[in-house]
Every structure is written in C-alpha cells, then in structure tokens.
Structure 1
Amino acid sequence: MKSVTRSLLILEAVAQHQPVTVGELTKLFGLPKSTVQRTLVTLSEAGWLRANRKDTTRWEIGARVLAVRPAALQGSNLLAAARDPMIKLRDALNETIHLSVPDALQGMVVVDRVDCSHAVRTYYGVGDTSPLHATATGRAILAHLPKADVEELIERGLEQFSEATPTDADVLRAELERVRADGYSVNRNQYRPDVCAVAAPILDEDATPIASVAVSMPDSRYDAERVPELGHLIADTAQEIAIRRNGA
C-alpha cells in the first residue's frame, strides 16, 4: 500500500471501529505493527486522530476530522435541497428522518438527520454507516443500480445481521424488484433489532441514485398497514428533494 492510501484506510478504520488498538488494526490490514503505529502517530500529530482519554492504547477520531466534516457538508446542494422537505416530513409523521448517501458498494453513510419529539426514538449519527442489502436506505439505492453492481455485491456475500436480514440472493433480487415497482423500500428489524424504516431513492437527472431519504422508528411504533401511506409520502419527499437539487 502506498503511504497516503494506507493512511486514509487506517483513518477510515479508526472511524468505524473506534476506540481501536494498534493490534486490532494490524490484524485488520495484515501490516507490521511498527507500520501501523507510525501511521497512527503521524495522523495524531496532524490532528486527525487522538489517543482515547480513558485508555491511551486505543485510538479515536481527532478534532480535525470533526471540524472538517461540517465544512464539507455545508456547501452540499443535496443537503441544502433536502433540509426543508425533511423537516416537513418529520413534522407530518413525528418520526426521525435520515438522509444517506452511498459509499460505492461499501454501504450507506448518514449525512443529515431530523429528530422527532418522542422520548423513545431511533438514532443514527451523521457519519454512521450501514450495509446496502440489510437496510431500507441501502435497498432504495440498490434497486436503481446497474444489475452488474447488484451481482457484485451478492458475490461478496450478504452478511446476516438479524434473523430477518435478506441473505439469499434470490430473495434480495425479488425485493429489489418490489422496490422498483413500489418506489420505496422497507426494513423491519433486518439490520438493528427493533429498528424499522421506510426509504425512497433520490435520483439524479439521469436516474442515477445519489441518496436516499428515510423515516425510521422503533418496532413498537411500526404499523404494517401504514407502510404504503408512508412509502408514498417518503417517495414524494425524495422527488421534491431531487427537483430542488436539480434546480427545476
């Protein structure tokens, strides 16, 4: 691995697994411990990483990353276009609304969130990641990707996160067909226990999926009979965001 690429991959791994030890990163990348340690120290000196305050043998994201993230997102026309429609949807449903973007086939990344007023609610922080095949946000994207991309994801293996996770290739393909037909996707306890969501894709002018918007709720407030209603509301919100983003 080239040093810059190695540093970025280690930075991403720390963000995903923090607080993490040198030994854990060594096993993850198959690199010499001295190489990993040297990279961590370099990133720490630049402010990208820091030692955990309670356990200095573990590493976590530093203040520089936390400062850069809002600045990077602030100028996004996607976030600007999505904010008001997300608030309007939250006000209509009083459930948490998430905006997520795909990281190639690696997963979905939450880039914005509007919270509901319930004391008990679902929570994904900005920057949190989740798998494509096991979530409503991910399948909303997958349903509109080229078939070759879907097959590549399947070939990598469909990890099981709960008893409800779609790990069978044919089951996933059938679900993506349904998502394309209905215009929205549904997740009931397929990734995190007792967490449900309904999501719709935000499509670019050439029908490329660039993001997904979702409403998420605890299983205790999930009502299967309301899913079509929620799906259409979310699909309308996704379309409004796309129109705003494209400047129509």
Structure 2
Amino acid sequence: MTAVEEKSGTPADDARGAGVLQRAFAVIRALGASQVEGSRVTALAKAVGLTQATVHRLLQGLIAEGVVEQDESTKRYRLSVDFFALAAQAGNPSGMRTLCRPALLRLCASLGDTIFLLVKSSFDAVCLDMCEGPFPIRSFTGDVGGRVALGVGQGSLAILAFQPEAEREEIIRFNVPRLRSYGVLDEVYLRTEIERVRKLGYAGRNTGVLEGMAGVAVPILDQNGCAVGALSVGTLAARLTEDRLPTIVELLKRQAEIIGPQTNPFDVAVRRPMHGLTRAMTTQPLA
C-alpha cells in the first residue's frame, strides 16, 4: 500500500472535509444575515473568524456551485437565486416572495385561476411562488422551484421581452437551440412574440404547446424598466376568452405596478443586467 493510499479516506481526511463544509456554511449564514446589501470579503472574514484568503477561496467554490453570486458593480457577494430556488422547495421565503404573496392571493381570489410568480435565473425562469386555483392545469415550470428556458411560456416570455437589449440578445442566442425541443418554437417566432409583448405590455397568446392550457403574464418592472419577474395566470384555454382577457391583463398590471417600485435590487431573486449570464459562463476568480 502506498503512502497516498494510506492517507486517503482516513479520519483526518474526513475531519478536514467536515471542517471545509462547516466553514462554507458559516459563510452562507453570514451572507444570509447581510442579504439586503450584500457583503465584502473583509466583512465576511470578520463575521466568520477566518482569513480573507480562506473566505475568498470558499466564495469561489460556492460561486462555482451556483449558490453565491457577486455583484459586478459593487463587488459585494450575496446568495444566488439558485440557492433560493432550492430553499423555496422547503417553503423558505425570500423578500421578493414575501412582497408578492399578497398579490398572488388577491389575484387568485379575484380570477379563480392559478397565479404564478416567476423570476429570472441566468437563461431560465424560476417559479418562486404560486397560488392554486380550482381548475386542474399544467404549466411549464410545474411547482415552486421549477424552471423553464426563457422564452417558453407566457411568464418567461414577459421577463425576456423586458430585459436590456444586449442581455436579451445573448439569451436568445443561447436559448434558441433549447427551444427547438418544444417543436413549435424557432428564432423567428420568438422574436415576433417578443416584439408583440413589448408593444402590448403583456404575453397572452396560447402557443398550443400545452394542449387545452392558456395563460397571460405581465412583467414586474424595476425603476429602470427592466423585468425582475413576472405575474402569470395559468388557466384552461376555454376560460381565456377575448372578453375576459382585458380584465385579466388589467388586474395583473395593477398588481405588478405596485410591486415593481418596492423590489430590492439586492434581493436574492432579482438579477442585475448581464450578471446571471456571466456568472453561469465563467468560473475565473473575481477581483
């Protein structure tokens, strides 16, 4: 047996592995405590009692796993929306979810249909919350924590249509091959739908991908006019009549306009322009 073999899998190795895990969770907890404004390496190191070099290494590992992100403008770290998408399946709310929950309840009670809250996560839309109506429906994201490529379904289309132009183009370029798997979506169709949504201010066309299902969605816009999420109604196609559509759109827009100005740019569920793209495509050290 070699010296390497003798050393591998020893109690000392297990203890070192457990120590790294404990330090990583200490950093995660510290980030959770400073989630509103984010935190710098110096502050995190002081909070967890580790050196800055150690904390920086731990942060890079957590970024590579997608549970931590760094704001490109402030260089502050915070927990990512992917971390929350996992936590959300256990019922843990974020600021965005807490902010929007009353609106979901009001819309569900008024319309009698299922209401979804979607947010952007890199090239996807994640279902952050939902309020189920009495009608059995199917959706692209499924339950809370589910995700779908941006451009598929009304909610994710509403988010994509109101991204900054440069980011929108990158998402389209990356997602078009993914959309083809749905059979009825291509780049021409997607761009046509995006222009239609931007003109109307909502997404409401039944693509026919989910037979018998229909939906309407409006973007939740921040103060810069960028979509940080979407409110979406999922219903039976027979219930989405031409007469009923304007009422649904008006109710959705009214709630979205209330929520938008209250969104926190440092909320775990709110992405800054291009940040989700760069985090997903690079693992190089950040300054």
TM-score tier after normalising by the smaller chain length: 0.5 to 0.7
**What is the aligned partner in structure 1 of residue 245 from structure 2?**
227
Tell me the alpha carbon deviations over residues 138-178 of structure 1, each in whole angstroms, 9 at most, x when there is no partner: 11111111222222233232523555x43133x32232222
Query: How big is the shift at 1:73?
Result: 4.1
Pick aligned residue for 2:187 from 131, 156, 168: 168
Runs of 4+ in 1 over 6 A off after TM superposition: none
Pick aligned residue for 1:215 from 226, 233, 236: 233
Is the aligned partner of 1:95 residue 2:139?
A: no
Cα distance change on mapping 1:5 and 1:201 into 2, 3 Å: same
Cα distance change on mapping 1:190 and 1:103 into 2, 3 Å: farther
Pick aligned residue for 1:8 from 58, 65, 90: 65
**Long gaps (5+) in structure 1:** 12-64
Q: Residues 122 and 218 of structure 1 are in contact (CA less than 8 Å); yes or no, is this contact kept in structure 2?
A: no
Give the TM-score of the pair, scaled to structure 2: 0.56
**What is the aligned partner in structure 2 of residue 40 from structure 1?**
none
Question: In the TM superposition, what are the counterparts of 1:1-248 in structure 2 within 5 Å?
Answer: 4=61, 8=65, 68-69=87-88, 73-74=92-93, 76-105=94-123, 107-118=124-135, 120-122=136-138, 124-156=142-174, 157-158=176-177, 159-162=179-182, 165-169=184-188, 171-245=189-263
Cα distance change on mapping 1:210 and 1:195 into 2, 3 Å: same
Query: How big is the shift at 1:72?
Result: 8.2
Query: How big is the shift at 1:117?
Result: 2.1
Q: Residues 189 and 195 of structure 1 are in contact (CA less than 8 Å); yes or no, is this contact kept in structure 2?
A: no
Cα distance change on mapping 1:131 and 1:68 into 2, 3 Å: closer
What is the RMSD of the two structures over their aligned residues, measured on CA atoms? 3.2
| 2:192 maps to amino acid | A
**Long gaps (5+) in structure 2:** 1-59, 68-83, 265-287
> What is the CA–CA distance in structure 2 between the aligned matches of 1:160 and 1:192, rounded to whole Å?
15
Cα distance change on mapping 1:128 and 1:70 into 2, 3 Å: closer
Tell me the alpha carbon deviations over residues 125-148 of structure 1, each in whole angstroms, 9 at most, x when there is no partner: 001111211211111111111222
Identity within the alignment, %: 25
Tell me the alpha carbon deviations over residues 17-52 of structure 1, each in whole angstroms, 9 at most, x when there is no partner: xxxxxxxxxxxxxxxxxxxxxxxxxxxxxxxxxxxx
State the secondary structure of the residue aligned to 1:102. Answer: strand
> What is the CA–CA distance in structure 1 between the aligned matches of 2:164 and 2:208, rounded to whole Å?
23
| 2:102 maps to amino acid | D
Q: Residues 118 and 127 of structure 2 are in contact (CA less than 8 Å); yes or no, is this contact kept in structure 1?
A: yes
Give the TM-score of the pair, scaled to structure 1: 0.64
Instruction: Kindly tell me the number of residue pairs found equivalent between the two proteins.
Output: 187
Max Rg structure? 2
Q: Residues 85 and 145 of structure 2 are in contact (CA less than 8 Å); yes or no, is this contact kept in structure 1?
A: no
> What is the CA–CA distance in structure 2 between the aligned matches of 1:138 and 1:190, rounded to whole Å?
16
> What is the CA–CA distance in structure 2 between the aligned matches of 1:100 and 1:208, rounded to whole Å?
14
The structure with the largest strand share of the pair is 1
**What is the aligned partner in structure 2 of residue 48 from structure 1?**
none
